[in-house]
Copies of this chain bind each other. A is one copy, B any other.
Amino acid sequence: MTTPKNRVPTITEVASAAGVSRATVSRTFSRPELLTPETTERVRAVAARLGYVPNQVARALSTGRAGNIALIVPDIANPFFPPLIRAAQARADEAGYAVFLGDSDEKPEREDILLTKIAAQVDGFILASPRLDEQRVRVHAARRPLILINRDIEGLPRVLMDVDAGITQAIAHLAELGHRHIAYVSGPPASWANQQRQKAAVKAAKRLGLTLVAIPANHPTYQGGQAAVPELLRTDVTATVAFDDLVAQGIMAGLAERGVQVPRDMSIVGFDDVLAARTYPPLTTVAAHCAEAGARAVELLGEILQSGRHPTARVVIPTELVVRATTSQPRRRQAGRGKPLAAAS
């Protein structure tokens, strides 16, 4: 019952109700240190009684600061992003920013449109795993502070995963278990993250003297992983490193359907650690700490917005292998066929 009318009062109404000027009301909420404590107290009381809340739109127009940030992701439904979004949102909230969320549906041109459309409403952007070409990203970055996640463009502030460390650990772990032939089931070729992971895997395998075959999963999804299984079984690998956990999970399902047991007949390593603990058996994977990436990106953006400076930080988040239950010593399989041997353990 604070406001009988369903309209929120304006600064003018509060001013006249409190017997002060509009400027004083404004200062009560934005720069109270300029006023006597008695004044702010009185104005606050009146404002509370009327249900006044400073209008963020008007504030944004006159100050040029929106108090919002935008977070653009290629696919919210990809389990990599929710923890990232959640952490980003929480940090933004602490810093007093509201968050615009954009889903580009993996389409570069939709990223471009989203960025253009909401530019005026936000103080800065966070682009997670952008598919947009470098030139366009730079254009947007020239207008507003912009932080990249999972994309490395020289001169722009960015938060990256230390893919090399994690993948190297994973391959070393497999080598130690005795695997000699391994597969990398890749993600979208246009993805920078995929290129990084694949390159790291190739390098690590070479260093350890393992053979590595790359198998494409057209889409970085559960279905994509499942669809890659037939080709996977046509090879003689005993272990698979997947582009991400989702693909790994798809592979596991595909293998299970064909009676290939994990890890007995095939070891599996995922990437991201976003649903690793939820699979059965629990997935061995490279933890990418995506929540931390989201939080760091917001912090970085906050610093830039505070300082006005434009440091081109390059934050690298460490990754590490988390060994769970989908990796074990290899076991001889019928060459070229998925069927496990009938022999007892």
Which residues of A are interface residues toward B (Cβ below 8 A)?
A: 6-8, 53, 55-58, 60-61, 66, 68, 75-77, 79, 81-83, 85-86, 89-90, 98-103, 105, 114, 116-121, 142-143, 222, 249-250, 252-253, 256, 277-280, 282
Task: Assess whether B85 is in contact with A53, with CB atoms less than 8 Å apart.
Answer: no
The listed residue (B57, B103, B249) touching A120 by CB distance below 8 A is: B57
How far is A103 from B291 in the complex, measured between Cα atoms in Å?
14
How far is the CB of A3 from the nearest CB of chain B, in Å?
8
A277 surroundings in chain B (CB, below 8 A): 222
How far is A250 from B79 in the complex, measured between Cα atoms in Å?
17
Task: Assess whether B119 is in contact with A101, with CB atoms less than 8 Å apart.
Answer: no
Task: Assess whether A8 is in contact with B101, with CB atoms less than 8 Å apart.
Answer: no
How far is A282 from B250 in the complex, measured between Cα atoms in Å?
12
Task: Assess whether B121 is in contact with A57, with CB atoms less than 8 Å apart.
Answer: yes
- With A82-B77, A100-B100, A120-B57: A6-B142 Cβ-Cβ less than 8 Å: yes
A100 surroundings in chain B (CB, below 8 A): 68, 98-101
Closest 9 A/B residue pairs (Cβ): A101-B101, A6-B142, A77-B82, A55-B120, A76-B86, A89-B103, A57-B60, A76-B82, A56-B120
List 28 A-B residue pairs with CB atoms under 8 Å apart, sorted by A's residue number: A6-B142, A7-B143, A8-B120, A8-B143, A53-B116, A53-B117, A55-B120, A56-B118, A56-B121, A57-B57, A57-B121, A58-B61, A68-B121, A76-B89, A77-B83, A82-B82, A85-B103, A89-B103, A98-B100, A98-B102, A98-B117, A98-B121, A99-B100, A99-B101, A100-B100, A222-B277, A249-B278, A250-B278
